[in-house]
Amino acid sequence: MDYDDDDLTDFSDLPIYKKAMELSDIVNRLLEHVEREDLTDTNEAQPHKELMKHYFQNSKEHMLANALIIPAKIAGAHGVNLYDIKMESAALIRKAARELITDARGLQMSGYRDTEYLDLLRSEVDEFRILFAQWVAGFDNDDYIIDRWGLFNPPGVNYDDLDPDDDLPFNPMDFLDDGDDMDV
């Protein structure tokens, strides 16, 4: 599948965005369900139960945040043409998707019993990963500003390369009127 953002006028038509919204929906449904769920009761000491309860709550909050970050960053990346900005968004999307899996493990470790929902989430993230890789491959690496931090430059461009735009002659006086026509 070829992802050329310029061919689509609306980010909500992107297959990756649609899959991101599906992920968000799965996470919301999973966490809505877990609110009513009785977690596996362990015969652990009270301090351990409190720690697991906190860990469980933390995993839920991170899952919700990551599920929201993914479609938002896709929409943001769609709105720009610069390779380095798109790649920065892509890195955040990848991080959020991977953390969904980590947070799902956290839910499971803290007593979440319905692991089939977590398996579904893992499967959907894996489908998303394929769409993501195709989407990133479609980024135009000829449209960039050098990332002086060195993280998001296109292949072959280094953080300390001379910016080709620096060689362009620029005279600000070319943009100013000579003053003869000005009414004061």
**For position 11, which CATH number holds?**
1.20.1440.60
Q: Which domain covers residue 100, as residue numbers? A: 5-137
pLDDT value of residue 100: 96
Query: In this structure, is residue 53 part of a structural domain?
Result: yes
Instruction: Kindly tell me if the per-residue pLDDT of 157 is higher than 50.
Output: yes
What pLDDT is recorded for position 75?
96
Higher pLDDT, 126 or 60: 126
- What is the rounded average pLDDT of the residues 150-178? 79
Q: Residue 157: inside a domain, yes or no?
A: no
Domain annotation covers residue 176:
no
User: Is residue 144 one of the residues assigned to a domain?
Assistant: no
42 falls within a domain: yes
What is the count of structural domains for the chain? 1
Residue 148 lies in a domain: no
Proportion of the chain above pLDDT 70, given as a percent:
80
Whether 47 maps to a domain, the answer reads yes
Please enumerate in sequence order all residues whose Cβ is within 8 A of that of 118, keeping only pairs 6 or more positions apart, or say none. Answer: 30, 104, 107, 108, 112
Report the predicted TM-score, pTM, of the whole model to 2 decimal places. Answer: 0.78
Asked, for residue 16, whether it belongs to a domain, the answer is yes
pLDDT category of residue 23 using cuts at 50, 70 and 90: very high
